[in-house]
Structure 1
């Protein structure tokens, strides 16, 4: 099994088990030890690889323990401090990591609640743990960009020097991406002012700032849509397509579905907007169900996202043929609720409902 597949399997286990986990000890046993064993590949029952309740006396603090120490060739390489699943992670509950980091040979420290893993090193000052992580893994929403770096901490291909050398860039790129995502969703006054001051010559009052907050958010989405459009044009023959943000490139399978041969005879026309929406839904639910099980099927009145290509396993319906676009969410009794969409990216606002629907068929 590839590293990414192990990570996806672990994410699925966390989703299934975390509601039953009530204590820190249960978190360690049911979530964190399996992560160390199956994802990172260390033998949790071999004290030459994983030492639980690791002790390294620090100053006046005697007998204080860190939850796990990972060893290679007899040297401590990574320290792991655990909290209960669902508990927020912060520097306040990482004090032991700070103290232990500079008295051991460890270059990597990890703070985790079994669902989120924050990895730290000593970029800012030698032998002193940084206050900000260089890598954040959220098993509820895995960032594919960090998977290759995380794999370097696994037993099979452990490459500490490579991790440390790329940690600085990774730390700030990840932080900037989180800032961009937050600003796109809800821009701050300072962020809005940067753009407003470059296009508006008048005095920026609170009313003007409020108006531009909406305009900046809309412009951000349209700009992303433009970039996606350019890539779609190149991929599908330089056609003019309707604008929409947040869509992924169609797969070859999806591209063939847009061809005349598949639509003219049946009288069904699958639009690019429907395919963009399908790929958004697909991206949302692939974290809780295998990607190869997700299918689409178009009809004259609506476009369906299905599991196992079965009409008996619908996730949602897309009603895009009229003036107003609707997302159709179905409950367990297959009763449909239609939700209007101002733009296709609004589908992301219903992530939980879509994942809940897909989970019924796991």
Structure 2
């Protein structure tokens, strides 16, 4: 099972079982330990995952953090757990104390549903007061799962995570500020717009007039932006359907062997993630809006310009063994087995060459 499937399955389990979990210890056993195991750490190996890790502070003895994950004998992540019904804000200071004495760069505060990630971006060896990242395991999107992969045992890299943490932290704070301004514009925010539009002094009366107009304008802008994207999506879908009809004869010839129409064909989460990985590889050479997929029972076709004659590669992900195939420069199909979706990146050059047979791009495009 791929990592995204494991995490989504755990999220579904948490949603299904939470009302039966009555204690903090049960929360740890049912929710948090499976989460640690999903990251690839052996929860039953005391050299790798230490429960009740001693974190004595000065003369205060007996302080213990719920879990400490180690790598090469050194702590890399500490995890403090609470019952799933508990509000995490009141427990921030407790993790702060543990962080100070555990010589680790990352701390997680969780109730088994919400996971908050902390580090020391503001002052070395002192945990920041606010988390740089937070997610709800019962509502995980692909971007969050991709970020979580950095904490897997086989991928853990302190420098890479710290760099990502910096961007996550400030992006998160900026989004909060923007959201607050959209809901209730502050005086400096309103004044910024008023000074560019109003001729004359921006008095209290002018501010009173502009405040509701700025709020209304922001809301209308977001609504129009969403509306435009929906129209664009519907238009693309209509154009795609029309092109499908025009190319029906070509498809019958190009796909061999032809498969009977089957309503059981499903675009799985695994295929979806594979499509986005290929898309991220090829977007350096071509506009990503020109990349499409068509699903069959046996494999997922990834096409240029939604044209079956421009098949870039095929992803075979619905069986126990997974493969990726493409056509090389000699016109022959190359097919290789992949252990996980991340292995698709190993064939970036081949995928780009396959795509370039249909599209000649002299310089990479910025998308």
TM-score per shorter chain, which class? 0.5 to 0.7
**Ranges in structure 1 where 5+ consecutive residues have no aligned partner:** 226-242, 263-285, 293-362
Contact 2:190 2:207 in 1 (8 A): no
| Separation of aligned partners in 2, 1:221 and 1:140 | 28
* Whole-angstrom CA distance in 1 between matches of 2:173 and 2:145: 16
Equivalent-residue separation in structure 2 for 1:15 and 1:251 (angstroms)? 37
Match of 1:189 in 2: 186
CA contact (8 A) 1:152 1:160 kept: no
Alignment match, 1:268 = none
Instruction: Spell out, residue by residue over 1:213-238, the C-alpha distance to the aligned partner (whole angstroms, 9 max, x if none).
Output: 2222112332x34xxxxxxxxxxxxx
Displacement of 1:26: 2.0
Q: 1:254 to 1:36 in 2, by over 3 A?
A: farther
What corresponds to 1:35 in structure 2?
Answer: 35
Q: Give the Cα–Cα distance (whole angstroms) in 2 for the partners of residues 260 and 290 of structure 1.
A: 24
C-alpha distance in structure 1 between counterparts of 2:220 and 2:185, whole Å: 14
Q: What is the distance in 2 between the residues matched to 1:129 and 1:111? A: 12
Alpha-carbon distance, 1:62 to partner: 0.7
The two structures, once aligned, show a CA RMSD in angstroms of 3.3
Q: Specify the alignment match of 1:44 in structure 2.
A: 43
**Residue in structure 2 matching 1:125, options 123, 132, 146:** 123
Equivalent positions of 1:1-362 (< 5 A) are 1-38=1-38, 40-90=39-89, 92-184=90-182, 186-190=183-187, 191-201=189-199, 203=203, 204-222=206-224, 224-225=225-226, 243-244=227-228, 249=233, 256-257=240-241, 261=245
The Cα of 1:249 is off from its aligned counterpart by: 4.8
Q: Is the Cα contact below 8 Å between 1:149 and 1:163 reproduced in 2?
A: no
Shift of residue 193, structure 1, vs aligned partner? 4.5
CA distance in structure 2 between the aligned counterparts of 1:244 and 1:260, rounded to whole angstroms: 24
How many residue pairs align between the two structures?
Answer: 247
Cα distance, 1:248 vs structure 2: 8.9
TM-aligned CA deviation for residue 145 of structure 1:
3.3
Q: Which TM-score applies when normalising by structure 2? A: 0.59
For normalisation by structure 1, the TM-score amounts to 0.59
Classify the secondary structure of the residue corresponding to 2:80: strand
Residue 88 of structure 2 aligns to a residue whose secondary structure is coil
Which residue does 1:339 correspond to in 2? none
Alpha-carbon distance between aligned partners in 2 of 1:85 and 1:258, rounded to the nearest angstrom? 50
- Gapped regions of structure 2 (runs ≥ 5): 247-266, 272-367
* Contact preservation (8 Å) 1:187, 1:217: no
**Shift in Å, 1:107:** 0.9
The structural deviation recorded for 1:42 is: 1.1
> CA separation of 1:43/1:246 partners in 2, compared to 1, >3 Å: closer, same or farther?
farther
Segment of structure 1 superposing worse, 196-205 or 153-162: 196-205
Q: Distance in 2 between matches of 1:150 and 1:46?
A: 22
Please tell me whether the aligned partners of residues 8 and 138 of structure 2 are also in contact (alpha carbons under 8 angstroms). no
